[in-house]
């Protein structure tokens, strides 16, 4: 199983990048976790450039297509998702019929130094992903006070539950006869 990790923060050592890397450690041994770290290279979405997609957009689309599941860690900016993350998703969603994220299981987590753990951003992101046709998992993990909480063992247990939900979402469904 291949899992693609995507941090919505552009900072290399952001709380969300750290949260994503902690989550990577909680997947079972036969899962391969790859982090897409070129979000900053994706230019502003421009429908005039759809036929001439930049290489950075193609790399993101190939990474999503190659993954069995996606885990996104998002910060919350002004009660919503970061602009660069939304921009990248706008590129990925076009054309909708060919989007590599369609029907792909996606889990959303997030970290914040505030008391709510970025829950508004996570809900906004789930809405965007759902409109794109992704199979958005119900599981949530808002990590409040993340500047202190990323060191706690209980967080690893919560991340393991998210990882297990993604693994379960990729398992073939047995049909009852």
Task: Give pLDDT tens digits for 47-97.
Answer: 888 888 899 999 999 999 999 999 999 999 999 999 999 999 999 999 988
Q: Where in the sequence is the domain holding 20, given as residue range(s)?
A: 2-170
Residue 176 covered by a domain:
no
Contact present, 60 and 92 (Cβ < 8 Å): yes
Q: Over the stretch 9-24, which tens digit does the pLDDT of each residue have?
A: 999 789 999 999 999 9
**Nearest residue to 158 via CA among 17, 25, 8:** 25
Number of alpha carbons in the 13 Å side-chain half-sphere of residue 166: 31
Average pLDDT for the chain: 92
| Total domains, the chain | 1
């Amino acid at each position: 199983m291949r899992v693609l990790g995507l941090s919505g923060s552009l900072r290399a050592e952001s709380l969300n990048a750290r949260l994503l890397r902690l989550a990577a450690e909680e997947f079972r041994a036969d899962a391969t976790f790859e982090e897409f770290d070129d979000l900053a290279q994706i230019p502003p979405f421009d429908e005039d450039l759809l036929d001439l997609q930049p290489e950075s957009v193609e790399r993101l689309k190939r990474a999503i297509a190659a993954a069995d599941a996606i885990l996104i860690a998002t910060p919350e900016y002004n009660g919503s998702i970061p602009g660069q993350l939304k921009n990248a998703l706008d590129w990925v969603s076009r054309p909708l019929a060919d989007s590599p994220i369609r029907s792909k299981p996606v889990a959303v987590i997030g970290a914040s130094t505030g008391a709510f753990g970025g829950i508004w951003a996570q809900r906004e992101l789930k809405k965007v992903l759902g409109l794109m046709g992704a199979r958005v998992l119900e599981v949530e993990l808002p990590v409040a006070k993340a500047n202190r909480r990323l060191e706690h063992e209980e967080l690893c247990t919560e991340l393991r539950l998210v990882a297990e939900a993604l693994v379960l979402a990729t398992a073939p469904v047995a049909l009852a006869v």
